[in-house]
Amino acid sequence: MEKIVYDNHFNGNEWFVIGVIVLGFAVVWLLPRRYSPAQTIFNLLIGITFGHIADHSIGLPPFDFYDVGDQSAYQLFDFFTYLMYSPFGYLFIYGYERLRMSELMTVVYILLWTAVSVGFEWLASKAGVFHYKHGYHTGYSFPVYLFLISIQLILYRMAFARNRWQRNRREEVKKTY
C-alpha cells in the first residue's frame, strides 16, 4: 500500500486538535464535580476508546475509508486526535445525568449528540484532521456515532446505575448477619 502525504508541516490540523483538546478539557475542568473518580475516568476514557476502535475498524484496511493527520501512515501526533474525543464522552454523560430525562427524551438526546458528533467530524475534516477516501463522507459516520453513543450510555448505566450499587450493598449486609 502506497503512503499518501497530505501535508508535512505543523499547521492547521494540528492546531485544531490542540485547540479542541485544550477547550474540551477546560470545559470539563470548569464544570461542577458530579462524579466519583471511577465515573470520571470511565467518562473520559470511553471517548478515547471508542475513537480508537472506530478509527481502527473503518479507517484501516480492509475498509480504509479515511486517513488521520498529515499522512496515510500513523504518526505520533495522530494519537493526540484520540484525546479530542475524551471530553465529548464526559460531556455526553454529564448532560444526560444533569437533565434526568425520560426514555423518549433520552432517544432525542442521543440523536442530538450524534448530530453534534457528525458536525464536529465535518469541522475536523475541513481543518485537515480527516481525509476521506473511497467515496466516504461525514454522513456515513451518523450510524457509527449513533451506535457508539448508545453503547456508551448502556455501559454507563450498567456500571453506575444507582440501584445496582444499592442492591449489591443490601446483599452484602444480609450476608454478614
* 61-104: pLDDT as tens digits: 888 899 888 888 878 888 899 999 999 999 999 999 999 888 99
Structural domain spans, the chain = 12-176
pLDDT given for residue 55 in this prediction:
83
pLDDT given for residue 94 in this prediction:
95
- pTM (two decimals): 0.84
Q: Give the chain as a DSSP string.
A: -PPPBS--SS-HHHHHHHHHHHHHHHHHHHSPP-S-HHHHHHHHHHHHHHHHHHHHHHSSTTT--EEETTBSS--GGGGGHHHHHHHHHHHHHHHHHHH---HHHHHHHHHHHHHHHHHHHHHHHHTTSEEE-TT--GGGHHHHHHHHHHHHHHHHHHHH-HHHHHHHHHHHHHHH-
pLDDT given for residue 75 in this prediction:
83
Whether the per-residue pLDDT at 165 is higher than 70: the answer is no
In this prediction, residue 59 has a pLDDT band, given cuts at 50, 70 and 90, of confident
